[in-house]
Amino acid sequence: MRVRHGPVVDYKLCIGCKTCYNNCPDDVYSWDEDRDQPLVAYPDECHYCAICELDCPQEAISVRLPLHALVDIGIYPRTSIAE
């Protein structure tokens, strides 16, 4: 099953600075030494603080909120208009 929430890294923009890896308070990331880039190893551990997204100098990370969090803040998914 693919997790659809938590941090997402755009590897085309990532420069391997380790900012996300070093600053994540939830240790969501592991580090791929061979590729010199972060891996989102534990997306279910993310508490959506978005420190990684805010601190990334390349803006290579976006944090996706789960559906229940979006609904809690008043953002509702599109519904089909079937009449």
In this prediction, residues 64-68 reach a mean pLDDT of 78
Is pLDDT of 19 > 90? yes
Domains annotated on the chain, with CATH:
6-72 (3.30.70.20)
Q: What is the pLDDT of residues 20-53, one digit of tens each?
A: 999 999 999 999 999 999 999 999 899 999 999 9
How far apart, in whole angstroms, are the C-alpha atoms of residue 36 and residue 44?
A: 23
74 — pLDDT class (breaks 50, 70, 90): confident
Q: What is the pTM of this model?
A: 0.78
76 — pLDDT class (breaks 50, 70, 90): confident
Residues with Cβ within 8 Å of residue 10, at least 6 apart in sequence: 60, 61, 62
Alpha-carbon radius of gyration of the chain: 15
